[in-house]
Structure 1
Amino acid sequence: MPSLDDELWNEFHRVVNMTSRELDEWLRTDGAGPETEALPDQAGRELGRQVLAVLRKRRVDLDNDDERVMRKVVDRVHAERRDDLEPTQGQAAWRHKLMSLGHDPLKPVRS
């Protein structure tokens, strides 16, 4: 893949303000039910698992599918949030949906 554009790389890492460990733990928590718990590689929403995979890769190892995931996440977070991404309290379901994308609205974004 040709090198990923700096703007997308930087914006993805700005809006995804959870570490890979935090996201992994959240996806496992979100995927756990009262009776069962999903396998670690199947926990959480598919897009969240894709974000986790991107976070675990080096930039030079990203492919076109990873770039599409990054663009989708940036677009979705911006659609749900203001551009400044200041920490914001909201409904639990809204926060959990964003956390499944790697963005915790209560956490400051990385500069």
Structure 2
Amino acid sequence: MAGRADPELDELWNEFHAVVNMTSRELNDWLLTDAATDTAEEVPDRAGAPDGRRVLEILGKRRTDLTDGDLSVMREVVSTVTAERGEGLDDPEAGTDPWRHRLMNLGHDPLRPLASDEGVSRVRQRHH
């Protein structure tokens, strides 16, 4: 992926960073809670949902360091969050605890607005 200009990658990057509205620190802290997973993990760096761990890894990367696997996870996160949030993507919504926790495992807290204006407009255009 390194070194090449790719408008599709730029769009995915912006969308991903719009729907992932938790910082890497917040996501990491969340993944360490009991509410983030059904099973307790004894090794803290492997605690939490596997998808959440992948999102956390991606948040720590530069755009040029993304792998094809990362891009797949990013597409899945954007798709899942937009499908789960539906038309209310812009509006903070509490929902049920299991629903909120599922989204938080992907780095999206539905009680917060989306993270970036540029990404938000792209998400709206593509998914509405």
**TM exceeding 0.5:** yes
On the 8 A contact 1:12/1:74 being kept in 2, the answer is: yes
- Give the direction of change, closer, same or farther, for the CA distance of 1:101–1:11 in structure 2 (3 Å limit): same
1:95 is matched with: 100
Q: CA deviation at 1:37?
A: 4.7
Distance 1:37-1:28 versus aligned 2 partners, 3 A rule: same
Determine what percentage of the aligned residue pairs are the same residue: 55
Count of matched residue pairs: 109
After superposition, the CA RMSD in angstroms is 1.8
Q: CA deviation at 1:74?
A: 0.4
Deviations along 1:22-66, whole A, 9 cap, x unmatched? 000000112497xx5531221111111000000011111111111
Structure 1 or 2: more helix by fraction: 2
Task: Assess if the C-alpha contact under 8 Å between 1:51 and 1:101 holds in 2.
Answer: yes
TM-score by length of 1: 0.88
For normalisation by structure 2, the TM-score amounts to 0.77
Cα pair distance change 1:49/1:3, threshold 3 Å: farther
Unaligned runs of 5+ in 1: none
Unpaired segments ≥5 residues, structure 2 = 118-128
